Amino acid sequence: MPIWSNVETLSRDELRKIQSQRLRHVCERVYERVPFYKKAFDEKGIKPSDIKSIDDIVKLPFTTKADLRDNYPFNLFAEPLSNIVRIHASSGTTGKPTVVGYTRYDIEMWAEAMARTMSAAGVTKYDIVQNAYGYGLFTGGLGAHYGAEKIGAAVIPISGGQTQKQIMLMQDFGSTVLCSTPSFALYIYDEMQRMGINPLSLKLRVGIFGAEPWTDAMRKDIEKHLNIKAIDIYGLSEITGPGVSFECEEAQSGLHVNEDLFYPEIINPDTGEPLPYGEEGELVLTTLAKEGIPLIRYRVKDITKLNPEKCICGRTFVRMDRVRGRSDDMLIIRGVNVFPSQVESVLLKSPEIAPHYMIIVDRKGRLDEMTVQVEVTPEFAEKYCKTMLSEDGKKFAGENDEMRKLKNIAQKNIKEIIGVNTNIVLMPPQTIQRSEGKAKRVIDNRPKE
C-alpha cells in the first residue's frame, strides 16, 4: 500500500529536527498564551529558551486530566474563541467532561493524521467506509469521517447503534470498510447470525477498530467471523482524537505513532521518571503541532511500551504496543494487578469461549473475589448445553462434564498466567450485555475506600 505522507518514512535524524523545532515553538506559544503553562514553567524554573532540542522535553512539567478539569472549559486554550472552529469533549466517570478546541489548522492536521491512519489500513478512494463510530462530542465519528474524506473514500456517516440498519447498508451499499469499536463489530456479527446473513456475502474487507482495549485473541475472532482484516487504531480526545497511532496492514504489529504531530514518552507511573524504549509504563504525549489546545507532556494513563525498530511497511515512526488498558482500569485483586484485557486473552485461548465477558469484583469479609461471567460459543452451547438451560434461557441451571472441563481450564489458566483465583461462570450465548460504543467489562462492587 502506498504510504500517505513522506513524513512517515523520514530518517530518525530528519524527524528529530522537525520535532525539536516544533517543540521549541509550542513551548513559546503556551508560555506566552496560557497562564497555566506560564506558571507551571516558572515553578520549574524553565524558560522556553531553555528548550533547544526534543531531548529537553524531560525538563518540562507534566499536564494531567485534573489540570484540564481545573481549567474547565476553555482556560487551557491557546487561541481566542474566534479562532476555534470545533469543540469536542470526553465524558469522564466523575464530574465535568474534558473539553478540547480545534482551530481550522487543527482540523486539517487531524484529518491528515487520520488519512495516514486509514491509508495504513489499506483504505483508498475506491472504498466505501461505513463509519459506525459515534458522531457528537466523542471524537471517533468526525475523526474517522474527515480522514476517510481526505483520502477520497465515500463515507457513510451512520454513527453508532442501529445494528440492523448497519447490516442493511453493508449489503445494499457494498461497504468495504467498517469503522467502529471492536465490541460493536462483534455485536454486528451477532446480529448477522440472528438475521441469517453470511458475512462472506458482504464486500467488507477491513475493520478500523479502536477507542477501547482489545486483544490479539479478539482480533483473530473478529477477523475469522467477519472475514476481514482488523486494524487497531488509537487516540484520545485530549490529544486530538483517533489518529495518534495506528497499525499498518502489512505488519499488524504495534501502532505507528504520528511522531511529527504527537511526541510519545513512557514514564514510570509512580516516580514520573522517563523509561527507555522497550520498557512498559505510562504513556505521555506532547502535541507538537496543535494550535487550539496544545498539551505539554500529557499523562495519558494508558499502559504501553515503545519500539523504535523500522517496520516492514517502511514507516520509521516508533511503534507503541497495543494498549493493555488504562492504569485507572487496572483492578487490584488481593494485591495482584489485573487488566481486563489480560483476562480476555486468557479466556480466548479456549475456542469454545466467545469474546463476551463481564468481570465482577466483590468483597467477602476482607477478601476480594473475582467472578468472570463468560459466554460459550453457540456451537458449544448447541452441542453440550442444551439440556442445561434455565427456564428463562438466561443462565445455565446446571453443569455437565464438558462444561466443568471448560470452566476448570479457564480458571487454571487465569491462575497460572495472571496469578489470581477466579470463579468462572459459563453463560449461554447472547446473555452478556452488548455495547454499541465502548464496552463495559467490569462491575466493581467493593466498597470505595
Nearer to ligand DLL, 90 or 193 (CB): 90
The window from 10-18, 66-74, 231-239, 358-366 that contacts ligand DLL (CB under 6 A) reads 231-239
Size of residue set near ligand DLL by CB under 6 A: 21
Nearer to ligand DLL, 48 or 210 (CB): 210
Nearer to ligand DLL, 35 or 161 (CB): 161
**Under rule CB under 6 A, residue 65 binds ligand DLL:** no
Nearer to ligand DLL, 226 or 439 (CB): 439
Closest CA to 91 of 133, 134, 137: 137
Nearer to ligand DLL, 48 or 235 (CB): 235
Q: Is 152 left (phi over 0), alpha (psi -120 to 50) or beta?
A: left
Contact 216, 168 (CB under 8 A): no
Nearer to ligand DLL, 303 or 424 (CB): 303
- For 415, the grid coordinates are 491462575
Residues 146-205 binding ligand DLL (CB under 6 A) are none
The window from 18-26, 131-139, 223-231, 363-371 that contacts ligand DLL (CB under 6 A) reads 131-139
Contact 249, 272 (CB under 8 A): no
In a 3-state reduction of DSSP, which class is residue 393?
coil
Closest separation between CB of residue 131 and ligand DLL, Å? 10
Q: Which of 236, 295, 306, 320 binds ligand DLL (CB under 6 A)?
A: 236
Closest CA to 235 of 90, 353, 86: 90
**Under rule CB under 6 A, residue 437 binds ligand DLL:** no
Q: Which of 112, 232, 259, 282 binds ligand DLL (CB under 6 A)?
A: 232
| Cβ-proximal residue to ligand DLL, closest one | 210
- Provide CB contacts within 8 A for 107, sequence distance 6+: 85, 86, 146
The window from 235-243, 264-272, 284-292, 393-401 that contacts ligand DLL (CB under 6 A) reads 235-243
Closest CA to 338 of 366, 383, 370: 370
Helix (H) / strand (E) containing 337: strand 336-338
Nearer to ligand DLL, 20 or 237 (CB): 237
**Under rule CB under 6 A, residue 246 binds ligand DLL:** no
- For 258, the grid coordinates are 504520528
Q: Which of 37, 133, 189, 339 binds ligand DLL (CB under 6 A)?
A: 133
Write the interaction track for ligand DLL spanning residues 264-303; mark x where CB under 6 A is met and - where it is not: ------------------------------------x-x-
For the chain, how many helices (H) and strands (E)?
11, 20
Closest CA to 266 of 285, 242, 245: 285
Nearer to ligand DLL, 24 or 322 (CB): 322
**Under rule CB under 6 A, residue 101 binds ligand DLL:** no
Residues 361-400 binding ligand DLL (CB under 6 A) are none
Contact 339, 418 (CB under 8 A): no
**Under rule CB under 6 A, residue 346 binds ligand DLL:** no
The window from 29-37, 58-66, 134-142, 150-158 that contacts ligand DLL (CB under 6 A) reads 134-142
Residue 426 vs residues 220, 342, 368, 400: alpha-carbon distances, Å: 21, 18, 20, 11
CA 158 to chain centre: 20
Largest CA distance in the chain: 74
| DSSP E strand boundaries for 365-438 | 367-376, 422-427
Q: Which of 131, 159, 176, 237 binds ligand DLL (CB under 6 A)?
A: 237
Alpha-carbon torsion angle 162, 167, 172, 173, nearest 10? 80
Nearest-angstrom CA–CA distance, 85 and 258: 23
**Under rule CB under 6 A, residue 355 binds ligand DLL:** no
Helix (H) / strand (E) containing 408: helix 401-417
Q: Which of 211, 288, 320, 347 binds ligand DLL (CB under 6 A)?
A: 211
- State phi, psi for 333 to the nearest 5 degrees: -110, 110
**Under rule CB under 6 A, residue 64 binds ligand DLL:** no
Nearer to ligand DLL, 142 or 202 (CB): 142
The window from 40-48, 207-215, 349-357, 441-449 that contacts ligand DLL (CB under 6 A) reads 207-215
Nearest-angstrom CA–CA distance, 309 and 290: 27
Closest separation between CB of residue 319 and ligand DLL, Å? 13
Closest separation between CB of residue 213 and ligand DLL, Å? 4
Nearest-angstrom CA–CA distance, 219 and 326: 19
Nearer to ligand DLL, 51 or 347 (CB): 347
- For 52, the grid coordinates are 533547544
Give me the residues that bind ligand DLL (CB under 6 A), please.
Answer: 90, 133, 138-140, 210-213, 232-237, 241-242, 300, 302, 323, 326
